[in-house]
Structure 1
Amino acid sequence: MPEHRAVRGNSPRPASARKRMTQALTRYGIAAHADRDAGNSWLQVNIHGHGLPDAGAPVLTAYVYDFRDDTTFVDQPMEHRPGTWRVTIATGGRERVVFYGQRSDPQTATAQCAAFIAGYCSALRTRPLAWPAFLETTDRLRDAANALARLIADTLTTQIDGAAYLILEDDEHGDALWLHSVLDSGGRTLFAFSDGTTLPAVTGDSPFRAAWGQLDPGDPASLELAVHGLRQARAVFDSVPDDLPCDAITDDHSCLLLSTDARPGCWNFGWDFDGDDARRLVRPYSAPRPPLKLRTPAPSPAIRP
Structure 2
Amino acid sequence: MAKECDVVEIGVLVYPGAQLAAVLGLTDLFAVASRLRHDLGALERPILRVTHWSEGESGQLAVSYDSHPGSSHAPRVMIIPPSLTQAPAPELLDRYCQDLRQWHGSGVLLVSVCVGVFFIAASGLLDGRAATTHWNFAQSLAERFPKIKVEANLPLLDDGDIITSACLMAWTDLGLKLIERHLGETLAAETARFLAVERITENQRPGSVFTPRLDHGDEAVLKVQHWLQSSGARDVNLAAMAECAGLESRTFLRRFRNATGLKPTEYCQQVRVGRACRMLEFTNRSIDQIAWGVGYQDPGAFRKVFFKVTGVAPSDYRRQMASSAG
Normalised by the shorter chain, which TM-score bucket? under 0.3
**TM-score (ref. length: structure 2):** 0.26
In terms of fraction of residues, the more strand-rich structure is: 1
**TM-score (ref. length: structure 1):** 0.27
Higher Cα radius of gyration: 1
In terms of fraction of residues, the more helix-rich structure is: 2
